[in-house]
Amino acid sequence: MTGRVYLVGAGPGDPGLLTLRAAQVLRVADVLLYDALASDAVVALAPEECEKVFVGKRGGDHAAAQREIEALMIAKARAGCRVVRLKGGDPFIFGRGGEEAEALQAAGVPFEVVPGVSSALAAPAYAGIPITHRDHAASFTVLTGHEDPGKPASTLDWVKLADSHRTLVILMAVANLREIARQLVGNGLDPQTPVAIIQDGTRPSQRCVRATLATIADEAERAKIESPAVVVVGGVARLRERLRWFDAGGLFAKRIAITRAGEQSQAFARALLERGAEPIFAPAIAIEPPDDPLLAERALDQLHSYAWLIFTSQNGVDAFFERLATRGLDARAIGSAKVAAIGDRTAARLRDRGVRADAVPEAFVGEEVARVVIERSRPGDRVLVFRAQEARDVLPRMLEEAGRVVSVAPAYRTVVPSDSNFAGKIARADAITFTSASTVRGFVALLGGASEAERAADGKCIACIGPITARAAADVGLRVDIVAGTYTTAGLLEALEAYFASPA
């Protein structure tokens, strides 16, 4: 029984640059053999039950020799497994993918090559450096700065490479940067030729140093540039200051802790990555079924009797429709009832389910939902509130005081997850985001109490999605720096950008 090996390029670091085909094969992998340059977010796409084996190099230490990697691929494929060999960048650009493909072919193991975005192209682009430009370079050459040490002599033609009309993109060049500059100048390239060296290209830790061939080695040493880094030699390097975009925003290189439930944090994390920030997944809550699911079931039994349905979160929408599905029902079961959503995201989740919200308040809090529904309903109308088990009672209380007949259905409950590394994650963060009072409570519980939470948050930016969350944070002793003007993650993101962009 023979499986298949996929030689997959993971791209240069930003998980958004992973190709669709790469994501497809990762999601069905039985075995994953991954290198050090494959980002955690990309590795996480493999199934939970997938066997994950690190075979990369960190700090000069090889986790596995090349022959061992090839033997492992072949053995796992012969056992019938779908094997993904995940490599940084592109597997056929200085990734030894060609050697691995030869080994697989010789062993009679089927394989597929899934190209990736090479750091040779992506790192300069993220640094604002186009490697071709009509005014500077009509061609480019990609070369290694670290040839096989077993060769008797370099096979690079330095005379041809010392060409002022082309861009040189040099990978794995940090250790030999001084000798590379010497060779290029010695073979005719002007010592004042612009050079840029980009460390950790496309990642929130990206750094870029600009200099000339005469000074780049000293400048890189002074800045303590380390691998992985890409060197760009040529006139295009001058364009960085005009065209830089990725590392120019207020959130660049900021480490932002996300405390909301893990499955809900992906879109927010992606938005942070797009702005050059590093998201730190530190969920302080997890979503579980309510203690008494029969309350929601009884409410659904009487669904036809309600004049209004109110949803106070995306989780509530999901729980409602999951329960409908178990009965073989869909959105049509709502019938003539009006629907209210606490905010834009909850309304969008309803639209995804085929329901258009009749009411969405301008301010995304329970009090405003109550006011909108009271304005548009009549005394005696029956109202179903589908919400978290531990939600505030202000919404149903206001409705009842206005003469509406209210049923509250606990759709789910939030619990505190177990995370032995939670304090370490928070210690790394520049900012901590809270999207609900329950995330604040979970934060305190995971750190062992209010005083410990206050110490852990000391010196960090505390950002809350709205005033209710901010009040919960202040009640446990946290100093709140940001309260979003619009009570959504998009509003929270805007507030973070404004905070970090403003002068200290």
Q: Is 237 helix (H, G, I), strand (E, B) or coil?
A: helix
Determine which helix (DSSP H) or strand (DSSP E) holds 111, and give its type and residue range: strand 111-114
Q: How many helices (H) and strands (E) does the chain have?
A: 20, 22
**CA 389, CA 294: separation in Å to the nearest integer?**
13
Which residues, in sequence order, are CB contacts of 412 under 8 Å at separation 6+?
Answer: 287, 288, 289, 290, 315, 316, 319, 388, 389
Let me know if 57 is a catalytic residue.
Answer: yes
**CA 487, CA 199: separation in Å to the nearest integer?**
36
**CA 12, CA 37: separation in Å to the nearest integer?**
7
Please give the structure tokens belonging to residue 88. Answer: 């940084």
Q: Which residue is it, tokens 């969405």?
A: 360
Let me know if 172 is a catalytic residue.
Answer: yes
Q: Which of 57, 247, 344, 358 is catalytic?
A: 57
Q: Which of 35, 90, 318, 381 is catalytic?
A: 35
DSSP string, 407-438: EEEEEEEEEPPP-TTHHHHHHH-SEEEE-SHH
Let me know if 393 is a catalytic residue.
Answer: no
Q: Which of 52, 163, 172, 358 is catalytic?
A: 172
Angle at 176 between CA 171 and CA 179, to 5 degrees: 120
- Half-sphere exposure in the Cβ direction for 126 (13 Å, CA): 34
Q: What share of the chain is helix, strand, coil (3-state, %, to 5)?
A: 40, 20, 40
**CA 246, CA 238: separation in Å to the nearest integer?**
17
**CA 173, CA 219: separation in Å to the nearest integer?**
14
Torsion of the alpha carbons at 437, 479, 343 and 499, rounded to the nearest 10? -150
**CA 451, CA 372: separation in Å to the nearest integer?**
39
The residues carrying an active-site annotation are 35, 57, 172
